[in-house]
């Protein structure tokens, strides 16, 4: 008999907030730089220095909380989390313990086939980032065997949002989809750059497995060192497989932290002696409780755009766009807004999708200019689609026009007028082109008449070319076939 | 008796007036002060660092500002700064081995404001290590003696600043008060020791002992000088989130001549009998003097004040256990090397901290530990709220509260060797600290302690409601001027120098 297991996964994210300055001092909040150049007495934990909270970071938290449907309590405070660590300047981290800025909330995400999923959040809270240690003399950068260690405090004090999900995710695919939705939401809210490669998004996964239908959770392991969504996917798959094999061979899962090894494609035990830390949380006496959040909530609410998951739902359900294309359309807020506007003007969602994800995306990629910031305004694209619908132009002309509009802007209707690009449906004119083509290509005509019907396409091409693309292709084909018959 | 014409005898107010008027330069004042410091400080031990060069440079700067037409409220006033406040490019030790050679990279807001007002820093003064103590004996870096009897302590923790001002080695001393650390040395050294409302003066650059209690304030020889210092330092600082953002009413303009119309509360639970017969009588005389100045004496009750000491010795150590974590040998200060970082932490902190600091870190760590947090820290916070509420109730029936500033006059070195008897020195000052209230100590008489030969000063503590600093200083001024207790004896190092 084969038993089947269900994976239970919770994701813990640390997201660096996008602010001009650090959480509690005036140092710039920027990635990189020469070590220890973006520091001051406050973020170095110098004696006597005091923290002053960054209001923008607090508003970002409220923005994220509201976006996830969290409750924003009227009272919140900062606490100190006490433990010694060389990259933590004060040997305590200013964090939030029992009264975070937001309570609860849910992340809505979707799978490739369009299925909507939800995952509740255990908590989102605000804290300060630590510095970064590096170890020299051991050859591999590890602390074991190193001669000395260096600490860079440029990152110390950067505002950090911790976002912990409930264990409600059941596969590696879901985990990545969850992270993608979280990333998109935070990006479009403007609260973070969420770049995994720069560490502004970092995540760990708690993974356990249990028999299908079992009520109790299995023993979990915490997976660290995942540096991309791809490695999250691989690491979780690998860990589920490891745990499954272990249980099936009669083994026992040990609660531990495991590191993901990208090269070997497996997790390895990092810390087996899990000593329970007593962080001695207590309210930070250097900071006063935050009360006047009501005004901020109103102000922030007004600034929240339509969220990616909601757009995805609307584009698939209302517009009938397929999930893959809808996912591409919601990838940036500005693109989705652009798309929405053109649909509003044309009522032709699929045609707009084709333009936006087709020719316009190609032009955007080639030029490096995002569609929403290009010279092709939504009104102009809508006009182009209307011209096409009205058969004033054909799709070939539309394509050419779009290139021209991308380079120079302008209204397609006026371009059609000034360049004389309007489609010709005048039978007399087209008949002349058809006759000319038949006369000029006797061999092709003979082939056609001998039964090679596919050569008609060549003749159509010749006729279109002769009309500078303006002839109505349907009419051309109609007349040609009649004459060849 | 005070020698009115000797520059070092003059009050800060007099010095500023003369420097602004051009009758004396800041440089002359400072040269005189430095010469006096060089003559007497070997005996007093007020300073850990004497800033000869910086003082001269600063004095020249003040003179230039005055010459250019600026009028500075504290022009040329020699300032002693407790060595737990940062002054840029200057050694700032906290009286501890762990910071013995640390050079501050920035200046504390309160110090910067005093300098901006025209003060000249003469030096950094001794203190109990990290401001933990009531006698200055916990300093790892030096002994400070009481200028009125060199065999006795100056009080603490701001003992160095108090001794400096008492010995005329500065006109104003900056202290910090967490549970009485300005008021008690003020009383021991015949000074005004003034702790404003919590949050009135920025803590930015004050090396924290207990963040929710620490407050900077002046030690001066006159109430007027305390008011001038307060006016220079008070006010919101964007660098300190706990500093209060509300307008400051200048105190120097509120000094009054009598106490008519004021109700002064005497605390029923503060039984002065345990102070001993002489001290007891001295306080009874002080209360009578308040009445003679026109005050209505009323009895008030602070039923929870007796829990002050226990409450304080949970909250203050809890905060200090976290505040002092940063002294870990990684970034600055003492480092005792070891094979790994954990061992380095342990060896550094074992060597760097003195026993009282270690005791409080241990108490505080325990009080915050999981399983004990609710029983200790949370209950202490509740008690603190109740104590503050008692004061609110008391202030419904009085304008000021009067009580002793310390449990005894200055005692001899090594007289309080068990921690508890030392903690008891702050019995009368801790409740006000827990409630965040403004309070000061003003000289109120002299006693010759048993076994002593010199008369030692006593301090009367006056306490006002939150933000009522002008009322508090105004009343203290009336009392000081009417009684003239402070000028009845000169410190030995001053009178002896002239004998
Ligand atoms: Zn900084």
Residue-wise pLDDT for B40-96, tens only, equals 999 999 999 999 999 999 999 999 999 999 999 999 999 999 999 999 999 999 999
Contact residues for B428 (Cβ-Cβ < 8 A; gap 6+): B180, B270, B403, B404, B405, B406, B407, B461
- Domain of B252 in residue numbering reads as 7-264+396-495
> DSSP per residue over A291-340, as a string?
-THHHHHHHHHHTPPPPHHHHHHHHHHTT---HHHHHHHTSSHHHHHHHH
User: Which chain A residues touch B100 with a CB distance below 8 Å?
Assistant: none
Measured in whole angstroms, how far is the alpha carbon of residue B114 from the centre of its chain? 16
pLDDT in tens, B10-56: 999 999 999 999 999 999 999 999 999 999 999 999 999 999 999 99
Q: Are strands A132-136 and A116-128 parallel, antiparallel or unpaired?
A: unpaired
Q: Where are the domains of chain A?
A: 5-298, 306-419, 427-484
pLDDT in tens, B210-221: 999 999 999 999
Does A46 contact chain B (CB < 8 Å)? yes
Of B105, B342, B365, the CB nearest to A280: B365
User: Which chain B residues touch A46 with a CB distance below 8 Å?
Assistant: 104-106, 332
Give residue B427's pLDDT: 94
The reply to whether residue B325 touches residue A41, judged by beta carbons under 8 angstroms, is: no
Mean pLDDT of B201-218: 98
Whether residue A246 has pLDDT greater than 60: yes
Classify residue B45: in a domain, yes or no: yes
pLDDT in tens, A273-308: 556 689 999 999 999 998 756 678 888 888 899 999
Beta carbons of A199 and A227 less than 8 angstroms apart: no
Nearest-by-CA chain B residue for A148? B340
Mean pLDDT of B337-342: 92
Whether residue A453 has pLDDT greater than 90: no
Catalytic residue from among B157, B212, B243, B407? B157
Nearest-by-CA chain A residue for B377? A282
Does B374 contact chain A (CB < 8 Å)? no
The reply to whether residue B326 touches residue A45, judged by beta carbons under 8 angstroms, is: yes
The tokens for A287 are 């900071």
Beta carbons of A382 and A346 less than 8 angstroms apart: yes
Catalytic residue from among B25, B176, B181, B407? B181
Give residue A143's pLDDT: 76
pLDDT in tens, B402-435: 999 999 999 999 999 899 999 999 999 999 999 9
CATH number (domain holding residue B248): 3.90.1300.10
Lowest mean pLDDT among A109-123, A264-278, A350-364, A440-454: A264-278
Residues in B 199-218 with any Cβ partner in A closer than 8 A: 203-208, 210-212
Give residue B4's pLDDT: 47
Lowest mean pLDDT among A87-96, B205-214, B488-497: B488-497
Classify residue B294: in a domain, yes or no: no
Confidence of residue A345 (pLDDT cuts 50, 70, 90): very high
Question: Can you tell me the distance from the alpha carbon of A305 to that of A372, in angstroms, rounded to the nearest whole number?
Answer: 16
Confidence of residue A157 (pLDDT cuts 50, 70, 90): very high
The reply to whether residue A89 touches residue B205, judged by beta carbons under 8 angstroms, is: no
Per-position b or e across A163-195, b if 16+ CB within 10 A of its CB = bbbbbbbbbbebbbbbbbbbbbbbbbbebbbbe
In the CATH hierarchy, which fold is given to the domain comprising A427-484? Arc Repressor Mutant, subunit A (1.10.10)
> Which residue, among B168, B259, B269, has the nearest Cα to B494 in the 3D structure?
B168
The tokens for A145 are 């065997």
Per-position b or e across B385-424, b if 16+ CB within 10 A of its CB = eebbebbeebbeebbbbbbbbbbbbbbeeebbeeeeebbb
Give residue B498's pLDDT: 43
Say how many CA atoms lie within 13 Å of A383 toward its Cβ.
16
Hey, how many other C-beta atoms are within 10 angstroms of the C-beta on B336? 15
Residue B181: active-site member: yes
Whether residue A422 has pLDDT greater than 90: no
Question: Can you tell me the distance from the alpha carbon of A443 to that of B367, in angstroms, rounded to the nearest whole number?
Answer: 101
Nearest-by-CA chain A residue for B213? A285
Question: Can you tell me the distance from the alpha carbon of B140 to that of B130, in angstroms, rounded to the nearest whole number?
Answer: 10
Residue B98 DSSP code: G
Q: Nearest CA of chain A to the CA of B345: how many Å?
A: 9
Residue B407: active-site member: no
The alpha carbon of A38 and the centre of ligand 1 are apart by a number of angstroms equal to 7
Of B241, B342, B369, the CB nearest to A278: B369
Question: Can you tell me the distance from the alpha carbon of B120 to that of B57, in angstroms, rounded to the nearest whole number?
Answer: 9
Question: Can you tell me the distance from the alpha carbon of A157 to that of A154, in angstroms, rounded to the nearest whole number?
Answer: 8
Cα-based distances in Å from A451 to A459, A474, A478, A484: 15, 22, 18, 11
Give residue B230's pLDDT: 98
> Which residue, among A122, A101, A11, has the nearest Cα to A59 in the 3D structure?
A101
Mean pLDDT of A360-369: 95
Question: Which run of H or of E encompasses B193?
Answer: strand B192-195
The reply to whether residue B242 touches residue A288, judged by beta carbons under 8 angstroms, is: yes
The reply to whether residue A282 touches residue B85, judged by beta carbons under 8 angstroms, is: no
Give residue A292's pLDDT: 57
Question: Can you tell me the distance from the alpha carbon of A191 to that of A305, in angstroms, rounded to the nearest whole number?
Answer: 12
Classify residue B196: in a domain, yes or no: yes
For residues B260, B263, B264, B266, the Cα torsion angle rounded to the nearest 10 degrees is 140
Mean pLDDT of B296-309: 97
Beta bridge partners of B82: B125
Q: Please, is A213 exposed, middle or buried when counting C-beta atoms within 10 Å of its C-beta (0-12, 13-18, 19+)?
A: exposed
Residue A176 dihedral angles phi and psi, to the nearest 5°: -70, -40
DSSP 3-state assignment of B406?
coil
Beta bridge partners of A136: A148
Mean pLDDT of A436-463: 86
Give residue B499's pLDDT: 37
Place of tokens 């702050």: B426
Cα-based distances in Å from A104 to A56, A119, A124, B135: 21, 11, 7, 52
Average pLDDT taken over every residue of chain B: 95
Place of tokens 């009392």: B479
The reply to whether residue A50 touches residue B85, judged by beta carbons under 8 angstroms, is: no
Give residue B184's pLDDT: 98
Nearest-by-CA chain A residue for B238? A52
Average pLDDT taken over every residue of chain A: 92
User: Which chain B residues touch A47 with a CB distance below 8 Å?
Assistant: 86, 92, 94, 99, 102, 104, 207, 326-327, 332
The alpha carbon of A151 and the centre of ligand 1 are apart by a number of angstroms equal to 15
Hey, how many other C-beta atoms are within 10 angstroms of the C-beta on A420? 9
Count of positions (residues) in chain A: 485
Of A52, A84, A278, the CB nearest to B239: A52
A213-216 long-range CB contacts below 8 Å, 24 or more apart?
A: A213/A6, A214/A6
pLDDT in tens, B158-195: 999 999 999 999 999 999 999 999 999 999 999 999 99
The reply to whether residue B325 touches residue A149, judged by beta carbons under 8 angstroms, is: no
Whether residue A421 has pLDDT greater than 80: no
The tokens for B105 are 């990279």
The reply to whether residue B368 touches residue A82, judged by beta carbons under 8 angstroms, is: yes
Beta bridge partners of A16: A160
Mean pLDDT of B281-290: 96
Cα-based distances in Å from A56 to A17, A94, A103, A147, A296: 9, 17, 19, 41, 10
The alpha carbon of A28 and the centre of ligand 1 are apart by a number of angstroms equal to 8
Q: Nearest CA of chain B to the CA of A96: how many Å?
A: 16
Residue B82: active-site member: yes
Nearest-by-CA chain A residue for B108? A48
Whether residue B497 has pLDDT greater than 80: no
Largest Cα span, chain A: 97
Question: Can you tell me the distance from the alpha carbon of B358 to that of A26, in angstroms, rounded to the nearest whole number?
Answer: 34
- The tally of domains found in chain B comes to 1
A272-277 long-range CB contacts below 8 Å, 24 or more apart?
A: A277/A83
pLDDT in tens, A163-222: 999 999 999 999 999 999 999 999 999 999 999 999 999 999 999 999 998 999 999 999
Question: Which run of H or of E encompasses B296?
Answer: strand B296-300
Does B328 contact chain A (CB < 8 Å)? yes
pLDDT in tens, B445-455: 999 998 888 89
The reply to whether residue B238 touches residue A86, judged by beta carbons under 8 angstroms, is: no
The reply to whether residue A48 touches residue B86, judged by beta carbons under 8 angstroms, is: yes
Hey, how many other C-beta atoms are within 10 angstroms of the C-beta on A260? 24
> Which residue, among B165, B192, B128, has the nearest Cα to B41 in the 3D structure?
B165
Whether residue A383 has pLDDT greater than 80: yes
Q: Please, is B153 exposed, middle or buried when counting C-beta atoms within 10 Å of its C-beta (0-12, 13-18, 19+)?
A: buried
Beta-carbon contacts below 8 Å between A and B: 98
Give residue A451's pLDDT: 84
Question: Can you tell me the distance from the alpha carbon of B154 to that of B169, in angstroms, rounded to the nearest whole number?
Answer: 14
């Amino acid at each position: 008999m084969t038993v089947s297991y269900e994976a239970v996964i919770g994701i813990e994210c640390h997201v660096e907030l996008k602010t001009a300055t650090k959480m509690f001092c005036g140092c710039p909040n920027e990635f990189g730089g020469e070590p220890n150049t973006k520091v001051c007495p406050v973020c170095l934990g110098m004696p006597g220095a005091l923290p002053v909270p960054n209001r923008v970071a607090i508003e970002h938290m409220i923005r994220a909380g509201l976006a996830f449907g969290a409750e924003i309590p009227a009272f919140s405070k900062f606490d100190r989390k006490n433990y010694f660590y060389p990259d933590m300047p004060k040997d305590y981290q200013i964090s939030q313990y029992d009264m975070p800025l937001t309570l609860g909330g849910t992340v809505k995400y979707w799978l490739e086939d369009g299925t909507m999923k939800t995952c509740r959040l255990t908590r989102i809270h605000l804290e300060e980032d630590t510095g970064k240690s590096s170890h020299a003399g051991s050859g591999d950068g590890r602390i074991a065997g190193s001669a000395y260690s260096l600490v860079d405090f440029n990152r110390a004090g950067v505002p950090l949002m911790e976002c912990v999900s409930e264990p409600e995710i059941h596969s590696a695919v879901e985990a990545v989809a969850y992270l993608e939705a979280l990333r998109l939401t935070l990006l479009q809210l403007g609260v973070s750059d969420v770049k995994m490669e720069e560490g502004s998004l970092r995540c760990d996964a708690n993974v356990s497995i249990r028999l299908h239908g079992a009520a109790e959770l299995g023993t979990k392991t915490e997976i660290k060192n995942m540096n991309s969504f791809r490695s999250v996917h691989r690491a979780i798959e690998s860990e589920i497989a490891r745990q499954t094999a272990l249980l099936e061979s009669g083994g026992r899962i040990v609660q531990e932290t495991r590191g993901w090894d990208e090269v070997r494609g497996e997790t390895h035990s990092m810390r087996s002696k899990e000593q329970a830390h007593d962080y001695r949380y207590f309210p930070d006496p250097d900071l006063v409780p935050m009360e006047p959040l009501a005004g901020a909530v109103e102000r922030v609410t007004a600034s929240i755009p339509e969220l990616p998951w909601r757009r995805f739902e609307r584009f698939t359900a209302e517009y009938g766009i397929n999930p893959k294309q809808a996912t591409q359309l919601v990838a940036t807020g500005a693109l989705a807004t652009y798309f929405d506007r053109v649909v509003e003007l044309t009522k032709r969602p699929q045609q707009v999708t084709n333009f936006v994800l087709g020719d316009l995306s190609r032009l955007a990629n080639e030029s490096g200019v995002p569609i929403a910031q290009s010279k092709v305004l939504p009104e102009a694209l809508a006009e182009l689609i209307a011209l096409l619908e009205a058969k004033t132009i054909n799709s070939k002309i539309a394509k050419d026009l779009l290139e021209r509009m991308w380079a120079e802007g302008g209204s397609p209707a006026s371009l059609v007028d000034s360049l004389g690009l309007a489609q010709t449906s005048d039978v007399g004119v087209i008949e002349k082109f058809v006759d000319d083509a038949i006369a000029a290509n006797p061999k092709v005509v003979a082939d056609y008449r001998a039964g090679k019907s596919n050569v008609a396409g060549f003749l159509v091409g010749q006729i279109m070319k002769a009309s500078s693309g303006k002839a109505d292709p349907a009419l051309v084909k109609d007349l040609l076939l009649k004459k060849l018959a | 008796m005070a020698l009115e014409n000797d520059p070092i005898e003059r009050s800060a107010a007099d010095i500023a007036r003369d420097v602004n008027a051009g009758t004396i330069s800041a440089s002359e004042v400072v040269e005189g002060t430095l010469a006096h410091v060089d003559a007497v400080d070997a005996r007093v031990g007020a300073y850990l660092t004497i800033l000869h060069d910086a003082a001269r440079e600063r004095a020249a700067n003040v003179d230039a500002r005055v010459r250019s037409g600026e009028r500075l409220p504290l022009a040329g006033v020699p300032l002693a700064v407790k060595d737990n406040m940062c002054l840029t490019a200057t050694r700032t030790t906290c009286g501890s081995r762990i910071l013995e050679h640390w050079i501050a990279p920035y200046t504390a807001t309160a110090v910067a404001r005093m300098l901006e007002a025209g003060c000249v820093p003469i030096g950094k003064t001794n203190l109990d290590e990290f401001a933990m103590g009531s006698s200055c004996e916990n300093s790892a870096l030096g002994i400070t003696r009481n200028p009125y009897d060199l065999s006795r302590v100056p009080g603490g923790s701001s003992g160095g600043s108090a001794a400096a001002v008492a010995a005329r080695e500065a006109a104003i001393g900056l202290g910090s008060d967490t549970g009485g650390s300005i008021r008690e040395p003020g009383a021991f050294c015949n000074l005004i020791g003034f702790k404003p409302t919590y949050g009135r003066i920025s803590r930015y650059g004050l090396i924290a002992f207990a963040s929710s209690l620490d407050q900077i304030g002046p030690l001066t020889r006159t109430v007027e000088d305390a008011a001038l210092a307060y006016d220079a330092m008070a006010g919101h600082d964007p660098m300190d989130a706990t500093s209060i953002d509300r307008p400051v009413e200048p105190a120097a303009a509120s000094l009054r001549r009598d106490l008519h119309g004021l109700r002064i509360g005497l605390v029923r639970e503060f039984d002065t009998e345990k102070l001993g017969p002489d001290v007891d009588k001295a306080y009874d005389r002080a209360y009578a003097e308040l009445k003679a100045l026109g005050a209505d004496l009323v009895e008030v009750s602070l039923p929870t004040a007796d829990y002050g000491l226990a409450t304080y010795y949970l909250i203050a150590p809890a905060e200090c256990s976290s505040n002092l974590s940063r002294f870990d040998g990684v970034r600055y200060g003492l480092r005792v090397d070891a094979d790994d970082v954990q061992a380095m932490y342990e060896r550094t902190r074992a060597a760097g901290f003195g026993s009282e600091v270690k005791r409080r870190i241990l108490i505080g760590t325990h009080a915050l530990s999981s399983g004990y947090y609710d029983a200790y820290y949370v209950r202490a916070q509740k008690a603190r709220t109740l104590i503050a509420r008692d004061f609110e109730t008391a202030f419904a029936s009085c304008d000021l509260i009067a009580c002793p500033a310390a449990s005894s006059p200055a005692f001899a070195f090594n007289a309080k060797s068990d921690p508890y008897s030392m903690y008891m020195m702050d019995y009368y000052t801790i409740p006000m600290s827990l409630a965040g209230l403004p309070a000061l100590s003003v000289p109120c008489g002299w006693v010759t302690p048993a076994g002593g030969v010199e008369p030692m000063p006593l301090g009367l503590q006056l306490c006002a409601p939150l933000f009522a600093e002008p009322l508090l200083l105004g009343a203290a001024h009336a009392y000081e001027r009417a009684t003239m207790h402070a000028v009845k004896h000169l410190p030995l190092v001053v009178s002896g120098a002239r004998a």
